[in-house]
Structure 1
Amino acid sequence: MKKWLLLIAVSFFMPGIAFCSVGFSSLLDASDDARPLMLSIWYPSEADQLDVVGGNAVFRGEYAALDGPLVGRHPLIVISHGGLRSTNDSGAWLGAALAKAGFIAIEVNAPRPETPVVAVNEIWQRPRDVRRALSVILGNPVWAGHVDQKKVFVVGFALGGTAALSVAGAELDAGSYYQSCADAGPVGADCTWYASHNVALNQLDQHGFDKPRHDDRFASAVSIDPEYLEAFSQGSGPPLISTLLISLGSEERKTSNLPLVENDLIDKATSSDGFAVCTDRGPHILLEEEGDAALCGVSPEVRARTHTQIVNKILSFLAGSL
């Protein structure tokens, strides 16, 4: 039944193409010297020569044809992945899976904030990055002609999920956001980092925070385990476009602040399942570097199944939202 629904979703976006090979390319946008963006572009391709992209000692990469041929027009998804200190291509697993389903998937890679003082501005920088990435692709003569501009979406995970909600039109309440670390909750790890450097959330650039973050070029949004969820304003109303919130864990993270957002749940998952499948050495490396081996989850097989569930929910929602 689930496979049948997935095939319906895929065929909605790409009639005649259910699954295909994956191409990969990258594009640097250096229009802002202080914040260059590296865009990782995953797309359907018929190429056979594949290389591993986005892997490292801890996380597995994905197979793709480097600069493989792309033909036709496709729906587009802009991906904002990970928390404050995620590495480039942390969402390679998601970009590759969406490309196999017939999308052009753009993962936005911005410079990692080196200090907490800089990092507090990521709350408004990430949505701006998403909007800027879309403008870059639509303004690029090589890529623009391949995008179906009636089917443009944003998907985000963790802080990227917060960015996706912001781009969708949900508004953060400044006072509630400033209190987020005092309330702890799911942002505890970042809050500990801030506290260790005596940095408070209200030390952000207020001018940047006050700028609008909504972008009506996006038709729908998906937010996976977003951070600072309770800080979205009750008085601003729901997002302005169709939005899905996917919770990873034992209960849905429903909030009265966003009453019309569609909620879905992947139980027995954790927020770490938004990251790639780990290598065999991944957990050991994390322990050696005083990291958290739990970032690798229960097993590679369980994480891969969770990834499949996430992708299926995204495809089903996007197909039904148009």
Structure 2
Amino acid sequence: TSGDSTPADTPKLWERTRDLSAVIDAMTTDPTWGNAVDGDRIGVLGFSLGGAAAMEIAGARASLDAYAHYCDEYKKCDCAWYAGGIGYRDDAVVHVDKLDLRTIDKARFEQSNLDRRVKAAVLVDPGLAPAYDTASLKAIAIPMDFINLGGTDTIPLGVVADKLAAIAPRGTYASVKGAIHFSFLQECKPGGAELLRETGEVDPICADGGSRSRADLHAELVGLIRSDLERSLQGPM
């Protein structure tokens, strides 16, 4: 969504979960792919806002009031996006006004997006972490494996996941030391950091949290994700 993203579209997680369910529909019924997909062993992996979508398709429900209150108090990271300024449409920069999260469709934001075909979820720095309804988390029956990037002093408040893991009945928690939120992204090409600065990008997309290379951080992440899915879905990945 980097070239087609606005603050008003960002909280519409019901569109993302609908897309995920549509992919499952297509893959399990397609004449070519259907025989290669085990409909009883479907897992979902999500990072950041994708982690929020993965949370919701697994059964979590978020409170709009709780999310709006969080952004009232915490105006950094994800919440800074709603302060207005710029958005993107068809790869072009557009001006957008400040978004009042309370104007989002509350019924849709808080609806259940559960797809029972999903049997396991791995959530890496999942977005909306302060806003999930506790009762909905307690009702999730599938394995929920949470991974945070960084240490307790560097993980952004909006994605801190240890408490979510403690609430989910089959939740586990791990963290990758020496990483930051953007360490999940692909390795930057030579000169990438400089190019981003020249274009006005303020997020440290090419930076990591310490002395470890992004390739090393990715290797640890892949190991964690693979072992989580193999354990949850009972088979090699």
Give the TM interval when normalised to the shorter protein. 0.7 to 0.9
Q: 2:77 corresponds to which residue? A: 189
Aligned to 2:88: none
* Paired residue total: 210
* Counterpart secondary structure, 2:38: strand
Letter in 2 for 1:234: T
Secondary structure at the aligned position of 1:320 is classed as helix
CA spacing shift, 1:273–1:308, aligned 2, 3 Å: same
Q: Which residue of 1 aligns with 2:90?
A: none
Contact kept, 8 Å, 1:170 with 1:240, in 2: the verdict is: no
In structure 2, what is the equivalent of residue 318 of structure 1? 229
Gap change, CA 1:226 and 1:156, over 3 Å in 2: same
Residues 220 and 241 of structure 1 are in contact (CA less than 8 Å); yes or no, is this contact kept in structure 2?
Answer: yes
- How far residue 293 of structure 1 moved from its aligned partner, in angstroms, is 6.4
| 1:122-141 residue CA offsets vs partner (Å, 9 max, x unmatched) | x3222222122211211222
5+ unaligned residues in a row in structure 1: which ranges? 1-84, 88-111
What does 1:245-260 align with in structure 2 at a 5 Å threshold?
245-251=146-152, 253-255=161-163, 259-260=167-168
Alignment of 1:277 onto 2:187:
yes
Q: 1:256 Cα shift?
A: 5.5
Question: Is the deviation greater in 264-273 or in 137-146?
Answer: 137-146
C-alpha spacing 1:127/1:300, structure 2 compared with 1 (3 Å): farther
- CA distance in 1 between counterparts of 2:193 and 2:137 reads 42
2: CA distance, partners of 1:275 / 1:256 = 23
More displaced 10-residue stretch of structure 1: 244-253 or 151-160: 244-253
User: Distance in 2 between the 1:290 and 1:300 partners?
Assistant: 26
Q: CA deviation at 1:204?
A: 1.7
Runs (5+) with no aligned partner, structure 2? 85-96, 153-159
Q: Deviations over 1:76-114 (max 9, x none)?
A: xxxxxxxxx446xxxxxxxxxxxxxxxxxxxxxxxx33x
Which has the larger helix fraction?
2
TM-score of the superposed pair, with normalisation by structure 2: 0.80
User: Alignment partner for residue 178 of structure 2, among 268, 272, 284?
Assistant: 268
Structure 2 partner of 1:151: 41
| Aligned partners of 1:248 and 1:269 also within 8 Å | yes
Task: Tell me, yes or no, if the aligned pair for 1:277 and 1:300 is still in contact at 8 Å.
Answer: no
- One-letter identity of the residue aligned with 2:148: S
Q: Is the 8 A contact 2:134 2:167 kept in 1?
A: no
- The alignment's TM-score, normalised by the length of structure 1, stands at 0.60
Alignment of 1:112-123 (within 5 A): 112-113=4-5, 115-121=6-12, 123=13
What is the identity, as a one-letter code, of the residue corresponding to 2:132? Answer: F
Partner of 1:62: none
Q: 1:236 to 1:301 in 2, by over 3 A?
A: closer
* Counterpart for residue 303 of structure 1: 214
- Higher RCO, Cα 8 Å, sep 6+: 2
Instruction: Give a deviation string over 1:132-177, Cα, whole Å, max 9, x none.
Output: 2211211222211111222210000000001111111122123212
What is the percent sequence identity of the aligned residues? Answer: 28
CA distance in structure 2 between the partners assigned to 1:151 and 1:257 by the alignment = 21
Q: 1:51-80 deviations in whole A, cap 9, x for unaligned?
A: xxxxxxxxxxxxxxxxxxxxxxxxxxxxxx
Match of 1:213 in 2: 113
Q: Deviations over 1:240-260 (max 9, x none)?
A: 311101000113631268513
Checking the alignment, whether the CA contact within 8 Å between 2:64 and 2:106 is kept in structure 1 is no
Hey, what does 1:227 align to over in structure 2?
Answer: 127
Distance 1:183 1:141, change over 3 A: farther
The answer to whether the 8 A contact 1:232-1:258 is kept is no
Deviation at 1:211, TM superposition (A): 3.4
1:189, CA displacement in angstroms? 3.2
In the TM superposition, what is the alpha-carbon distance from 1:199 to its structure 2 partner?
0.7
Q: Which moved more, 1:263-272 or 1:191-200?
A: 191-200
Query: Structure 1 residues 207 and 253 mapped into 2: Cα distance closer, same or farther (>3 Å)?
Result: closer
